[in-house]
Amino acid sequence: MKAKKFLSVGAAVLAIVYGTAAFAAGSDDYAPAAAKPATYNAAVGMIKDKNYADAIIQLEAAEKSTPKDADVQNLLGFAHRKSGQLNKAAAYYSSALTLDPKHKGALEYQGELFLMLGDKASAEKNLQKLDKICWLGCSELDDLRTAIRNYQP
């Protein structure tokens, strides 16, 4: 009986630790999160549909209710970058990384922005940061590594 109870507790802990959704807007494992504002979750679907303008509106509403949420800042950066608003994207990525310096999505997307701006050295610095954070590997590390490998000035 005690072993069964221990296994149940262990399974619950593992579910909490490993069951959190990844927030990489460009990847297939991106999913809405229950703990986020409804406007954030609505924006997720809009981003998947490449409806960046409407996603920005929803994310700005989410930002008002959760101004210190690195995920919201990161997706605002992503949607602005995809909309061609690179200066705004840069500011949002910077904000996300100020709130969470190890935010994998923001490091990847900021690195991709650096490449768009012709700054391969800064993208490589973000890759080094991701390499330290993702010592077991992660999609953000792989995606940025591929973007750098395929980069042509």
Report all structural domains of the chain as residue ranges with CATH numbers, in order of start. 23-150 (1.25.40.10)
How much is the pLDDT for 22?
A: 38
> Tell me, what's the pLDDT at 33?
67
24-28, 43-47, 79-83, range with the lowest pLDDT: 24-28
**How confident is the model over 55-114, as pLDDT tens digits?**
999 999 999 999 999 999 999 999 999 999 999 999 999 999 999 999 999 999 999 999
Report how far apart the first and last C-alpha atoms of the chain are (Å, whole number): 64
* Average pLDDT in the chain: 85
